[in-house]
Structure 1
Amino acid sequence: MEREELLRKGLKELGFTPSASILSQFDKYLYELKKWNRAYNLTALKSDEDIIIKHFLDSLLYLKVIPEGQWSICDIGSGAGFPGIPMAIVRPEFNIVLIEPSRKKSAFLRHIKRTLPLLNAEVMESRIEDVKGRLFDVAVTRALFSVMDLIKKAGHILRKNGFFVLNKGPKFEDEISHLPGDVKFEVISVTLPCTPLQRNLIKVKIL
Protein backbone atom coordinates (compact mmCIF):
# COMPACT_ATOMS: atom_id res chain seq x y z
CA MET A 1 0.00 0.00 0.00
CA GLU A 2 1.31 3.46 -0.91
CA ARG A 3 2.39 5.42 2.16
CA GLU A 4 -0.18 8.24 1.80
CA GLU A 5 -2.96 5.71 1.29
CA LEU A 6 -1.79 3.77 4.37
CA LEU A 7 -1.71 6.92 6.49
CA ARG A 8 -5.15 8.00 5.24
CA LYS A 9 -6.59 4.58 6.06
CA GLY A 10 -5.03 4.54 9.54
CA LEU A 11 -6.16 8.07 10.39
CA LYS A 12 -9.73 7.28 9.30
CA GLU A 13 -9.75 4.07 11.38
CA LEU A 14 -8.80 6.20 14.39
CA GLY A 15 -11.52 8.76 13.66
CA PHE A 16 -9.35 11.58 12.29
CA THR A 17 -9.91 13.48 9.05
CA PRO A 18 -6.78 13.05 6.87
CA SER A 19 -6.59 16.68 5.75
CA ALA A 20 -3.94 17.84 3.27
CA SER A 21 -2.07 19.73 6.00
CA ILE A 22 -1.99 16.72 8.37
CA LEU A 23 -0.81 14.39 5.58
CA SER A 24 1.86 16.90 4.56
CA GLN A 25 3.18 17.21 8.13
CA PHE A 26 3.40 13.43 8.55
CA ASP A 27 5.13 13.14 5.16
CA LYS A 28 7.76 15.73 6.17
CA TYR A 29 8.18 13.99 9.54
CA LEU A 30 8.75 10.63 7.82
CA TYR A 31 11.30 12.16 5.42
CA GLU A 32 13.26 13.93 8.17
CA LEU A 33 13.16 10.91 10.50
CA LYS A 34 14.65 8.65 7.80
CA LYS A 35 17.26 11.27 6.85
CA TRP A 36 18.42 11.88 10.44
CA ASN A 37 18.21 8.19 11.26
CA ARG A 38 21.18 7.45 9.00
CA ALA A 39 23.44 9.49 11.28
CA TYR A 40 21.70 9.42 14.66
CA ASN A 41 20.06 5.97 14.83
CA LEU A 42 16.74 7.35 16.10
CA THR A 43 14.65 4.25 15.34
CA ALA A 44 15.23 0.60 14.47
CA LEU A 45 12.29 0.72 12.06
CA LYS A 46 13.38 1.37 8.48
CA SER A 47 10.42 0.88 6.12
CA ASP A 48 7.80 3.57 5.50
CA GLU A 49 5.05 1.09 6.38
CA ASP A 50 6.60 0.15 9.74
CA ILE A 51 7.23 3.78 10.70
CA ILE A 52 3.69 4.87 9.74
CA ILE A 53 1.97 2.00 11.56
CA LYS A 54 4.24 1.30 14.54
CA HIS A 55 5.29 4.90 15.27
CA PHE A 56 2.74 7.35 13.85
CA LEU A 57 -0.52 5.41 14.25
CA ASP A 58 0.61 3.71 17.46
CA SER A 59 1.25 7.17 18.95
CA LEU A 60 -2.26 8.33 18.04
CA LEU A 61 -3.79 5.46 20.04
CA TYR A 62 -3.10 7.55 23.19
CA LEU A 63 -5.86 9.92 22.06
CA LYS A 64 -8.39 7.15 22.77
CA VAL A 65 -7.76 8.00 26.44
CA ILE A 66 -7.29 11.80 26.23
CA PRO A 67 -10.46 13.66 25.23
CA GLU A 68 -10.41 16.79 23.08
CA GLY A 69 -9.71 20.02 24.93
CA GLN A 70 -7.03 22.43 26.12
CA TRP A 71 -4.70 19.92 27.76
CA SER A 72 -1.12 20.47 28.87
CA ILE A 73 0.70 17.24 28.13
CA CYS A 74 4.26 16.04 28.59
CA ASP A 75 5.84 13.22 26.61
CA ILE A 76 8.40 11.56 28.89
CA GLY A 77 11.46 10.14 27.14
CA SER A 78 10.15 11.37 23.80
CA GLY A 79 13.05 9.94 21.76
CA ALA A 80 12.30 10.66 18.10
CA GLY A 81 9.00 12.29 19.12
CA PHE A 82 6.69 9.41 20.00
CA PRO A 83 3.91 9.71 20.98
CA GLY A 84 4.12 13.52 21.37
CA ILE A 85 4.68 14.78 17.81
CA PRO A 86 1.92 12.75 16.09
CA MET A 87 -0.44 13.90 18.87
CA ALA A 88 0.61 17.53 18.35
CA ILE A 89 -0.02 17.24 14.58
CA VAL A 90 -3.62 16.04 14.87
CA ARG A 91 -4.52 17.98 18.04
CA PRO A 92 -3.29 21.58 17.61
CA GLU A 93 -5.24 22.64 20.71
CA PHE A 94 -2.97 20.51 22.94
CA ASN A 95 0.17 22.05 24.44
CA ILE A 96 2.80 19.31 24.37
CA VAL A 97 6.25 19.36 26.00
CA LEU A 98 8.67 16.75 24.63
CA ILE A 99 11.04 15.78 27.45
CA GLU A 100 14.18 14.00 26.23
CA PRO A 101 17.59 13.76 27.96
CA SER A 102 19.63 12.81 24.85
CA ARG A 103 21.30 15.78 23.14
CA LYS A 104 21.09 14.21 19.66
CA LYS A 105 17.43 13.28 20.01
CA SER A 106 16.58 16.72 21.44
CA ALA A 107 18.33 18.33 18.45
CA PHE A 108 16.17 16.24 16.13
CA LEU A 109 13.00 17.20 18.06
CA ARG A 110 13.85 20.91 17.80
CA HIS A 111 14.48 20.47 14.06
CA ILE A 112 11.09 18.76 13.59
CA LYS A 113 9.30 21.45 15.62
CA ARG A 114 10.76 24.12 13.28
CA THR A 115 10.31 22.13 10.06
CA LEU A 116 6.65 21.12 10.38
CA PRO A 117 6.20 23.75 12.11
CA LEU A 118 4.55 22.83 15.42
CA LEU A 119 3.54 25.92 17.39
CA ASN A 120 1.98 23.78 20.13
CA ALA A 121 5.14 21.78 20.94
CA GLU A 122 8.12 22.59 23.16
CA VAL A 123 11.34 20.59 23.56
CA MET A 124 12.94 20.21 26.98
CA GLU A 125 16.37 18.56 27.07
CA SER A 126 16.23 17.00 30.52
CA ARG A 127 15.67 13.86 32.54
CA ILE A 128 12.13 13.77 33.89
CA GLU A 129 13.47 13.57 37.47
CA ASP A 130 15.16 16.97 36.97
CA VAL A 131 12.09 18.84 35.68
CA LYS A 132 11.06 21.40 38.30
CA GLY A 133 8.37 24.05 38.43
CA ARG A 134 6.20 22.61 35.65
CA LEU A 135 2.88 20.83 36.11
CA PHE A 136 0.88 18.98 33.47
CA ASP A 137 -2.66 17.64 33.10
CA VAL A 138 -1.45 14.48 31.39
CA ALA A 139 1.88 12.64 31.09
CA VAL A 140 2.37 10.07 28.32
CA THR A 141 5.29 7.77 27.58
CA ARG A 142 6.37 5.01 25.24
CA ALA A 143 9.61 4.54 27.16
CA LEU A 144 10.03 1.23 28.95
CA PHE A 145 8.93 2.33 32.43
CA SER A 146 6.95 0.10 34.73
CA VAL A 147 3.89 1.86 36.15
CA MET A 148 5.51 2.19 39.60
CA ASP A 149 8.83 3.43 38.17
CA LEU A 150 6.97 6.09 36.22
CA ILE A 151 5.05 7.22 39.31
CA LYS A 152 8.29 7.45 41.32
CA LYS A 153 10.20 9.34 38.62
CA ALA A 154 7.43 11.61 37.34
CA GLY A 155 4.68 11.85 39.98
CA HIS A 156 5.87 15.38 40.85
CA ILE A 157 4.97 16.80 37.40
CA LEU A 158 1.24 15.98 37.44
CA ARG A 159 -1.39 18.49 38.48
CA LYS A 160 -4.04 17.45 40.99
CA ASN A 161 -6.42 15.11 39.13
CA GLY A 162 -3.81 14.65 36.39
CA PHE A 163 -3.08 11.21 34.95
CA PHE A 164 -0.48 9.10 33.17
CA VAL A 165 -1.04 7.08 30.00
CA LEU A 166 1.23 4.14 29.16
CA ASN A 167 1.11 1.75 26.20
CA LYS A 168 1.72 -1.85 27.24
CA GLY A 169 2.00 -5.22 25.55
CA PRO A 170 0.29 -8.45 26.63
CA LYS A 171 2.20 -8.87 29.92
CA PHE A 172 0.72 -5.79 31.59
CA GLU A 173 -1.58 -7.69 33.97
CA ASP A 174 1.20 -8.91 36.25
CA GLU A 175 2.48 -5.34 36.55
CA ILE A 176 -0.83 -3.73 37.49
CA SER A 177 -1.74 -6.53 39.91
CA HIS A 178 0.98 -5.26 42.29
CA LEU A 179 -0.07 -1.60 42.35
CA PRO A 180 -0.85 -0.10 45.78
CA GLY A 181 -4.36 0.94 46.76
CA ASP A 182 -3.78 4.67 46.21
CA VAL A 183 -3.07 4.10 42.50
CA LYS A 184 -6.19 3.82 40.36
CA PHE A 185 -5.94 2.47 36.83
CA GLU A 186 -8.12 1.80 33.83
CA VAL A 187 -7.12 -0.45 30.91
CA ILE A 188 -8.36 0.38 27.40
CA SER A 189 -7.57 -2.36 24.86
CA VAL A 190 -7.44 -1.19 21.23
CA THR A 191 -6.36 -2.63 17.90
CA LEU A 192 -3.47 -0.94 16.09
CA PRO A 193 -4.89 0.28 12.72
CA CYS A 194 -3.98 -1.74 9.61
CA THR A 195 -2.85 -4.68 11.79
CA PRO A 196 -4.34 -7.40 14.00
CA LEU A 197 -2.10 -6.24 16.88
CA GLN A 198 -3.65 -5.46 20.26
CA ARG A 199 -2.40 -2.59 22.42
CA ASN A 200 -3.28 -1.94 26.06
CA LEU A 201 -3.45 1.70 27.11
CA ILE A 202 -3.24 2.09 30.85
CA LYS A 203 -4.60 5.29 32.40
CA VAL A 204 -3.13 5.79 35.86
CA LYS A 205 -4.23 8.24 38.57
CA ILE A 206 -2.63 8.72 41.97
CA LEU A 207 -5.20 9.43 44.69
Structure 2
Amino acid sequence: MFETKDIPPSFRTDLSGTEKATVKSWVDNSDPFNFALRGITEHPFFNGDQKAIDAALVSAGILSEIIDKSELQQAYPVTRGLGQYDVDQVKTALKEKEKLGYSPLISDAGFIAVTFDDKVSLDYSEPDDNEEYYILKSYLVKGSKALFIGNHNDFTKRVESDILLQKGSSYYIVEEDIVVITDETGRERLVHYIDIAFIKE
Protein backbone atom coordinates (compact mmCIF):
# COMPACT_ATOMS: atom_id res chain seq x y z
CA MET A 1 0.00 0.00 0.00
CA PHE A 2 1.19 3.51 -0.81
CA GLU A 3 1.98 5.18 2.53
CA THR A 4 1.23 8.90 2.65
CA LYS A 5 1.80 11.84 4.96
CA ASP A 6 -1.44 13.39 3.74
CA ILE A 7 -4.78 12.60 5.34
CA PRO A 8 -8.23 12.28 3.70
CA PRO A 9 -10.70 15.18 4.03
CA SER A 10 -12.95 13.22 6.41
CA PHE A 11 -10.17 13.33 9.04
CA ARG A 12 -9.15 16.98 8.55
CA THR A 13 -10.02 19.24 11.47
CA ASP A 14 -9.73 22.44 9.42
CA LEU A 15 -12.70 21.57 7.18
CA SER A 16 -16.29 22.41 8.12
CA GLY A 17 -19.20 20.02 7.84
CA THR A 18 -20.35 21.80 4.69
CA GLU A 19 -16.89 21.48 3.15
CA LYS A 20 -16.68 17.78 3.95
CA ALA A 21 -20.16 17.26 2.53
CA THR A 22 -19.07 19.02 -0.67
CA VAL A 23 -16.07 16.72 -1.03
CA LYS A 24 -18.40 13.76 -0.45
CA SER A 25 -20.64 15.04 -3.25
CA TRP A 26 -17.61 15.18 -5.56
CA VAL A 27 -16.58 11.65 -4.64
CA ASP A 28 -20.12 10.36 -5.13
CA ASN A 29 -20.51 12.02 -8.54
CA SER A 30 -18.06 14.53 -9.99
CA ASP A 31 -20.03 15.06 -13.21
CA PRO A 32 -22.30 17.93 -12.02
CA PHE A 33 -19.26 19.94 -10.88
CA ASN A 34 -17.31 19.62 -14.12
CA PHE A 35 -20.24 19.72 -16.53
CA ALA A 36 -21.39 23.00 -14.97
CA LEU A 37 -17.87 24.48 -15.03
CA ARG A 38 -17.33 23.38 -18.64
CA GLY A 39 -20.68 24.80 -19.69
CA ILE A 40 -22.11 21.40 -20.62
CA THR A 41 -25.50 22.32 -19.23
CA GLU A 42 -27.59 20.17 -21.57
CA HIS A 43 -26.49 17.02 -19.72
CA PRO A 44 -29.42 14.84 -18.57
CA PHE A 45 -28.29 15.35 -14.97
CA PHE A 46 -29.40 18.98 -15.17
CA ASN A 47 -32.36 18.43 -17.50
CA GLY A 48 -32.43 22.15 -18.26
CA ASP A 49 -32.91 23.04 -14.58
CA GLN A 50 -31.06 26.33 -13.99
CA LYS A 51 -31.36 25.90 -10.21
CA ALA A 52 -29.50 22.59 -10.45
CA ILE A 53 -26.80 24.22 -12.58
CA ASP A 54 -26.46 27.13 -10.13
CA ALA A 55 -26.26 24.70 -7.19
CA ALA A 56 -23.49 22.76 -8.94
CA LEU A 57 -21.56 25.99 -9.52
CA VAL A 58 -21.92 26.93 -5.83
CA SER A 59 -20.58 23.51 -4.83
CA ALA A 60 -17.72 23.93 -7.30
CA GLY A 61 -16.89 27.25 -5.65
CA ILE A 62 -16.73 25.61 -2.22
CA LEU A 63 -14.51 22.83 -3.58
CA SER A 64 -12.23 25.40 -5.18
CA GLU A 65 -11.85 27.19 -1.82
CA ILE A 66 -10.93 23.89 -0.16
CA ILE A 67 -8.19 23.28 -2.72
CA ASP A 68 -6.89 26.83 -2.24
CA LYS A 69 -6.20 26.09 1.43
CA SER A 70 -4.80 22.59 0.84
CA GLU A 71 -1.18 21.63 0.23
CA LEU A 72 0.36 18.23 -0.36
CA GLN A 73 2.62 17.11 2.47
CA GLN A 74 4.77 15.00 0.16
CA ALA A 75 5.50 14.49 -3.54
CA TYR A 76 3.52 12.06 -5.70
CA PRO A 77 4.03 10.52 -9.14
CA VAL A 78 0.52 10.66 -10.58
CA THR A 79 -1.42 9.50 -13.63
CA ARG A 80 -4.84 10.15 -15.16
CA GLY A 81 -6.73 7.80 -17.45
CA LEU A 82 -8.42 9.80 -20.19
CA GLY A 83 -11.95 9.64 -21.52
CA GLN A 84 -12.95 10.90 -24.94
CA TYR A 85 -13.29 14.54 -23.81
CA ASP A 86 -9.61 14.68 -22.82
CA VAL A 87 -8.33 12.34 -25.54
CA ASP A 88 -9.51 14.69 -28.28
CA GLN A 89 -7.71 17.62 -26.63
CA VAL A 90 -4.50 15.64 -26.19
CA LYS A 91 -4.50 14.33 -29.76
CA THR A 92 -4.87 17.87 -31.09
CA ALA A 93 -2.02 19.07 -28.87
CA LEU A 94 0.22 16.19 -30.01
CA LYS A 95 -0.33 17.16 -33.65
CA GLU A 96 0.48 20.79 -32.85
CA LYS A 97 3.60 19.74 -30.94
CA GLU A 98 4.81 17.71 -33.92
CA LYS A 99 4.20 20.62 -36.27
CA LEU A 100 5.47 23.47 -34.08
CA GLY A 101 8.12 21.70 -32.04
CA TYR A 102 6.45 22.58 -28.76
CA SER A 103 3.18 21.78 -27.05
CA PRO A 104 0.35 24.28 -26.77
CA LEU A 105 -1.20 24.69 -23.34
CA ILE A 106 -4.14 22.45 -22.55
CA SER A 107 -6.64 23.89 -20.09
CA ASP A 108 -9.67 22.43 -18.36
CA ALA A 109 -12.37 24.66 -16.91
CA GLY A 110 -13.24 21.79 -14.58
CA PHE A 111 -11.30 20.12 -11.78
CA ILE A 112 -8.65 17.55 -12.73
CA ALA A 113 -8.50 14.33 -10.71
CA VAL A 114 -5.25 12.36 -10.76
CA THR A 115 -4.23 9.20 -8.92
CA PHE A 116 -1.10 7.71 -7.39
CA ASP A 117 -2.35 4.21 -8.33
CA ASP A 118 -1.51 3.37 -11.96
CA LYS A 119 -4.15 0.62 -12.07
CA VAL A 120 -6.89 3.18 -11.42
CA SER A 121 -5.81 5.17 -14.47
CA LEU A 122 -5.84 2.09 -16.66
CA ASP A 123 -9.33 1.21 -15.40
CA TYR A 124 -10.64 4.71 -16.10
CA SER A 125 -9.09 5.19 -19.53
CA GLU A 126 -11.44 4.75 -22.48
CA PRO A 127 -10.34 3.40 -25.89
CA ASP A 128 -10.34 5.69 -28.90
CA ASP A 129 -11.61 4.64 -32.33
CA ASN A 130 -8.44 2.57 -32.82
CA GLU A 131 -8.82 0.78 -29.46
CA GLU A 132 -5.83 2.69 -28.07
CA TYR A 133 -5.66 4.23 -24.60
CA TYR A 134 -4.25 7.53 -23.34
CA ILE A 135 -2.90 8.15 -19.84
CA LEU A 136 -1.37 11.36 -18.53
CA LYS A 137 1.72 11.16 -16.32
CA SER A 138 3.09 13.89 -14.08
CA TYR A 139 4.79 14.58 -10.77
CA LEU A 140 3.28 16.70 -8.02
CA VAL A 141 5.87 18.19 -5.69
CA LYS A 142 5.48 18.65 -1.95
CA GLY A 143 3.57 21.87 -1.26
CA SER A 144 1.48 21.67 -4.43
CA LYS A 145 -1.96 23.26 -4.13
CA ALA A 146 -4.13 20.16 -4.40
CA LEU A 147 -6.74 18.28 -2.38
CA PHE A 148 -5.61 14.85 -1.20
CA ILE A 149 -8.65 12.57 -1.16
CA GLY A 150 -6.67 9.37 -0.84
CA ASN A 151 -7.42 5.69 -0.98
CA HIS A 152 -9.21 5.34 2.35
CA ASN A 153 -12.00 7.64 3.45
CA ASP A 154 -15.49 7.60 4.91
CA PHE A 155 -17.07 8.77 1.67
CA THR A 156 -16.93 5.72 -0.56
CA LYS A 157 -15.97 2.07 -0.80
CA ARG A 158 -14.05 2.77 -3.98
CA VAL A 159 -10.26 2.77 -3.72
CA GLU A 160 -9.08 5.35 -6.22
CA SER A 161 -6.11 7.07 -4.54
CA ASP A 162 -7.32 10.46 -5.77
CA ILE A 163 -5.69 13.87 -5.66
CA LEU A 164 -7.77 16.77 -6.96
CA LEU A 165 -6.26 19.74 -8.81
CA GLN A 166 -7.79 23.19 -9.01
CA LYS A 167 -10.39 24.03 -11.64
CA GLY A 168 -8.96 25.82 -14.65
CA SER A 169 -5.57 24.10 -14.39
CA SER A 170 -3.32 24.16 -17.47
CA TYR A 171 -0.57 21.82 -18.63
CA TYR A 172 1.63 21.11 -21.61
CA ILE A 173 2.93 17.89 -23.12
CA VAL A 174 6.59 17.03 -22.56
CA GLU A 175 6.79 13.72 -24.40
CA GLU A 176 4.82 10.65 -25.45
CA ASP A 177 5.72 7.03 -24.81
CA ILE A 178 3.72 4.24 -26.46
CA VAL A 179 3.78 0.84 -24.76
CA VAL A 180 1.86 -2.43 -24.80
CA ILE A 181 0.46 -3.39 -21.40
CA THR A 182 -1.05 -6.71 -20.35
CA ASP A 183 -3.80 -6.15 -17.79
CA GLU A 184 -4.98 -8.49 -15.03
CA THR A 185 -7.25 -10.37 -17.44
CA GLY A 186 -4.37 -11.09 -19.82
CA ARG A 187 -5.65 -8.59 -22.34
CA GLU A 188 -3.07 -6.52 -24.21
CA ARG A 189 -3.63 -2.77 -24.54
CA LEU A 190 -1.73 -0.21 -26.58
CA VAL A 191 -1.28 2.71 -24.20
CA HIS A 192 -0.04 6.21 -24.96
CA TYR A 193 1.63 7.56 -21.81
CA ILE A 194 1.66 11.34 -22.10
CA ASP A 195 4.24 12.99 -19.84
CA ILE A 196 2.92 16.44 -18.89
CA ALA A 197 3.93 19.43 -16.77
CA PHE A 198 1.36 21.52 -14.95
CA ILE A 199 1.60 25.30 -15.05
CA LYS A 200 1.70 26.94 -11.64
CA GLU A 201 -0.68 29.85 -11.20
Instruction: Give the TM-score band, short-chain normalised.
Output: under 0.3
Indicate the structure whose relative CO is greater, using CA pairs within 8 Å and at least 6 residues apart: 2
Q: Whose helix proportion is higher, 1 or 2?
A: 1
Higher Rg of the two aligned structures: 2
TM-score (norm 2): 0.28
